[in-house]
Amino acid sequence: MLFWQLLLQGIAAGAGYALIAVGFALIYSTTRTFHFAHGVTYALAAYAYYASLQTLHWHPAAAIVLAACIAVLFGVGVDALVYQPMRRTAASFLTLFAASFGVLVVAVNCLVLVFGNSFYSLSGTLSRGVEYGPFVVSLANLTEIALAAVLIPLVLVIMHRTRLGTFFRAMADNNELVEVFGFTSRRYVRLAFAIGSLCVVPAAVLAPYIGGIQPGTATVVTLVAIAATIIGGIDSIAGAALGGLLLGVAENVGIWKLSSAWKPAISFGILLLFLVLRPRGMLGARGRRA
């Protein structure tokens, strides 16, 4: 019984990870940018939602819209101010990584200065558990699963059935060729960052109701998103979603017998195993340029 309860919680957590990972994977596969600051998008959206709800007393719908705007602005902004200039100088992967990491460090610490190191959470009908027979699950968890179940297929539909998606996949395959055909990929890069950043918003808005938010969450979330993407297969968005789900379930079921202190080690342990034994991930194809 405990096992099934933990599994349920794992699926809820995995749904959140999947959303964030899908955003990261979308950005990476189309623009080849290792967007380390992706977790900051999540944290900013969560704080924006919390602050506008608690301090400014906005209506939740307005708060969600604010969170979404801030997420998109941040993602697109970092791309415009940091990544794009570096692309022009043909900066290497590691240079981009270092800069992206620098942005993560600066942003997280700005959050600490503004909000302090304390932990914020929201209480309400969403956070309270509801009993379904032997199980207890909160509405927030259920909402997260539902949103993931709807939005992730939506992203996949966009990728495979729309013109925009075709461009995205073309960029993922061969960026230079796309340019040759006269399409400026700049606009699509911006769109990729916008949509990728938007993906985290549902998880971010629900976060204060589930585990709560602290500045350090940004770093953890980024790492989990990267882990999920790599485990799923670096070029596959569906893989990233699967990877996120797998990590969520593994973490929560893993503590069935272990103490919860081991949660981060479980996720990163799985990541290390994949990196060493099967770097292409679950759904990644062999031989793709990384």
Partner 1 sequence: MCKWNRMQARGWFAGLVGGALLALAAHGAWAADKTYNFGVLFPLTGPNAVYGDVFSKGVNLAVEMVNEGHKLSRDIKPVYVDSQALPQPAVVGMNQLVHVNEVPYTLTAFSGVSKAIAPIGNRFHVIMVNGGGVSPELAIGKYFLNDIPLADQEIGVVLPYAVKGKKIRKLSVVYVDDPFGNSVNRQIQTHCPKLGCRIDPDLAVNPGNTDFQGEVAKIRAAGPDAVFIASYGQQQNVITKQLRDGGVKAQILSYSGYGVGPTLKLPEAQGAIFDHQSVSFEANALSKEFHAKYVKKYGSEPNFYVANYANAVFIFADLVQRLEAKKTSVTGEHLLAALHRQKTFDVIGGKVKFSKRGTVSVPMQINEIKDGKAEPLTVVNP
Partner 2 sequence: MLAYLLNLAILLGIAVILAWSLNVLIGFAGIFSVMHAVFYGVGAYVAAQFALHVSSDFVLSTMVAMIVTGALAFLVAVPVLRVREEYFVVAAIGFQMVASTIFITWESATGGMGGLTGIPPAKVFGFELISPAAYLVLTLVCALICVLALLAVVRSPFGRALKALRDDETAAIALGKHPVKLRLIATTIGGAMAAIGGSLYAFYVSFVNPESFTLDYSVLLMAMVIIGGAGSLLGPVLGALFITVFPALLNFLQVPSSVLGPVQQIVYGMMIVLLMLFMPEGLVSAGKLISRRRK
- Residue 117 contacts partner 2 per CB under 8 A: yes
* Contacts of residue 188, Cβ cutoff 8 Å, sequence gap at least 6: 30, 164, 167, 168, 171
What is the C-alpha to C-alpha distance for residues 170 and 16, in angstroms, rounded to an integer? 28
In angstroms, give the least distance from the CB of 39 to partner 1.
16
The partner in contact with residue 180, picked from partner 2, partner 1, none with C-beta cut-offs of 5 to 8 angstroms by kind, is: none
- Residue 60 contacts partner 1 per CB under 8 A: no
Rounded to whole angstroms, what are the CA distances from 170 to 152, 174, 178, 195?
A: 20, 6, 7, 17
- Of the candidates 1, 61, 180, 276, which one interacts with partner 2 according to CB under 8 A? 276
Using the structure block, give the residue that is written with the tokens 């380390």: 36
What is the C-alpha to C-alpha distance for residues 146 and 41, in angstroms, rounded to an integer? 21
What is the C-alpha to C-alpha distance for residues 245 and 144, in angstroms, rounded to an integer? 12
For the segment 133-162, give every residue that binds partner 1 (CB under 8 A).
136, 138
What is the C-alpha to C-alpha distance for residues 184 and 206, in angstroms, rounded to an integer? 36
The partner in contact with residue 77, picked from partner 2, partner 1, none with C-beta cut-offs of 5 to 8 angstroms by kind, is: none
For the segment 165-194, give every residue that binds partner 2 (CB under 8 A).
none
In angstroms, give the least distance from the CB of 145 to partner 1.
14
Rounded to whole angstroms, what are the CA distances from 237 to 75, 144, 233, 262?
A: 18, 19, 8, 28
* Residues near partner 2 (CB under 8 A): 34, 82, 85-86, 89, 91-99, 101-106, 108-110, 112-113, 116-117, 219, 223, 226-227, 230, 259, 261-262, 264-265, 267-269, 271-272, 275-276, 279, 290
* Residues near partner 1 (CB under 8 A): 1-2, 5-6, 9, 116-119, 121, 123, 127-129, 131, 136, 138, 210-212, 214, 216, 252, 255, 259-261, 263
